[in-house]
Amino acid sequence: MRFDRMITAVEAHAGGEPGRVITGGIVDVPGDTMFAKMQHLQRHRDEIRRLMLREPRGYPGLCCNILLPPTDPAADAGFVIMEQVEYPPMSGSNTICVTTVLLETGILPMQEPVTTLTLEAPAGLIEVTVTCQNGKVTGVTFRNRPAFAAYLDQTIDVPQIGPVTLDVAYGGMWYAIVDAAQIGLEIDPSQGAAIVRMGEMIKAAAREQLPVVHPDNPDIAGISILEFTAPPALPGADGKNTVVISTGTFDWNDPSTWTGVLDRSACGTGTCARMAVMHARGQLPLQQDFVHESILGTTFTGRLIEETTVGPYPAVVPAITGQAWIYGLSNYLVDPSDPFQDGFVVGDIWGGVS
C-alpha cells in the first residue's frame, strides 16, 4: 500500500456549520501575508480545496481551514478558509472552529478560565477571547475587522422574481441582505430548497447590478453571499437569518446551476454585515448585544464595539461570540491510483460546479 499524501484534520462545527481544520500534511505555502498565502493556494494549489471539500472526502455544506504559520509576529497562528467556490477573507464560524481546535488539541496552550490569542486571517489580525473550563472551550469571542454598509434600500430587478429591495454590506465577505418575507419565504429548514434557489437568483442579479470593491483591498470585490433575514423565533433572540452559499457557477440560461447550500449556523460575518446595516439605520447602538438565530435555532451573539471608517464608508468594529464542538479526528489519504484525487461532483446535490 502506497500513498502520495496524508492530510490530518480535526472535524468541528460551530452552531451546526461544519468547519474542518487541517492540522497536518501542509507545512506552509508562499506569501508574505496571510492574504497572499490565500491567493497562492487559490491560484496554484486549488487541488487541496477540491480534495477536501468535494466527494468522496467532502460534501456541499462543508468548509475547510488550513492552519499555517503566521506572517505577522503579533499573531499566535494563521489560517486560510476554503469554501465551495471561494476563499473568503474572513469567516466567523470557521474562526470559532479554528480557535477551538487550536486550544482543545493543545496546539496552543489553554489557560482557564480565559485564554486570549491573536489569529491571522486573510482579512487581517483577529483578537480572540476564549472562555475555558475543564479543558473545554465554552465560548469564543472574536473582534472582527470593520464592517460597513455600501448600499441601503436598493431595488434591483431579478429575472423571474421581479423587483427586490436589499442592502449590501461587508462583514468579512460582501453580503446582499434581503428580508425573506418580501419574497414570500420563511426561514425554516422545510423551505431550504426554495431559499437556496431564490437566493442564488437574487445574488446573481445583485452582483451584476450593484458592484462593490473593498476600499483597502481591491481583490475583495463582488457580492458572494446572500443573507435572508426575518424576525426571531427563539425567546431572547433579536433576529433570524440564513445565508445562501454558492456551490457552483451561476448561469441564467441553465436552471440546474441555481443551486447552493445554506449556512447551518447564524453566520458570524453575516451577523457583522447585518449589524453594520442596522447601525447605519440607527437601529443598533454600540455596546448592545444582538442575538442572531440560525435556521437550526442555534445562535451567535454580536456586539458593535466602536465606530470607525473604511475608505469613504462609516464603519463599525463588531465582535461575535459563539461555541464550537469537535466531533472527529481524521487522516485523509491520497492513493496515486485513486481516480478521484481532486474529488468529484454529481448534479443530484451539487448543481453546476466549476
340 located within any domain: no
Q: In the numeric block, which cell numbers belong to residue 344?
A: 468529484
Each residue's pLDDT, cut to its tens digit, for the chain (354 residues) gives 677 789 999 999 999 999 999 999 999 999 999 999 999 999 999 999 999 999 999 999 999 999 999 999 999 999 999 999 999 999 999 999 999 999 999 999 999 999 999 999 999 999 999 999 999 999 999 999 999 999 999 999 999 999 999 999 999 999 999 999 999 999 999 999 999 999 999 999 999 999 999 999 999 999 999 999 999 999 999 999 999 999 888 889 888 888 899 999 999 999 999 999 999 999 999 999 999 999 999 999 999 999 999 999 999 999 999 999 999 999 999 888 999 988 988 877 776 555
Q: Are residues 304 and 198 located together in one domain of the fold?
A: yes
91 located within any domain: yes
Q: Rounded to two decimals, what is the model's pTM?
A: 0.96
Q: Are residues 129 and 265 located together in one domain of the fold?
A: no
Pairing label, strands 313-322, 136-143: antiparallel
Q: Are residues 305 and 330 located together in one domain of the fold?
A: no
176 located within any domain: yes
Q: Are residues 294 and 156 located together in one domain of the fold?
A: yes
Predicted local distance difference test score (pLDDT) of residue 21:
98
Q: How many domains does the chain have?
A: 2
Residue 91 a catalytic site member? yes
Predicted local distance difference test score (pLDDT) of residue 204:
97
Q: How many separate helices (H) and strands (E) can be counted in the chain?
A: 5, 19
Q: Are residues 127 and 173 located together in one domain of the fold?
A: no
Q: Are residues 121 and 172 located together in one domain of the fold?
A: no
Residue span of the structural domain in which 64 resides: 5-143+325-334
Judge contact between 196 and 243, C-beta under 8 A: no
Q: Are residues 283 and 138 located together in one domain of the fold?
A: no
Average pLDDT over all residues of the chain: 95
Q: Are residues 314 and 232 located together in one domain of the fold?
A: yes
The identity of residue 126, as a single letter, is: I
Tell me the pLDDT tens digit for each residue of 75-94: 999 999 999 999 999 999 99
Q: Are residues 41 and 158 located together in one domain of the fold?
A: no
Closest CA to 147 of 305, 29, 337: 305
Predicted local distance difference test score (pLDDT) of residue 1:
61
Rounded to whole angstroms, how far apart are CA atoms 163 and 144? Answer: 33
80 located within any domain: yes
71 located within any domain: yes
Q: Are residues 131 and 248 located together in one domain of the fold?
A: no
The identity of residue 34, as a single letter, is: M
CATH number at residue 206: 3.10.310.10
Q: Are residues 75 and 224 located together in one domain of the fold?
A: no
Per DSSP, which regions of the chain are E strands?
A: 5-14, 17-24, 63-68, 77-82, 114-121, 124-133, 136-143, 148-158, 162-170, 174-179, 213-214, 217-221, 225-230, 239-246, 260-262, 290-293, 299-310, 313-322, 324-334
Predicted local distance difference test score (pLDDT) of residue 294:
98
Q: Which of 91, 224, 246, 294 is catalytic?
A: 91
Q: In the numeric block, which cell numbers belong to residue 28?
A: 506552509
348 located within any domain: no
342 located within any domain: no
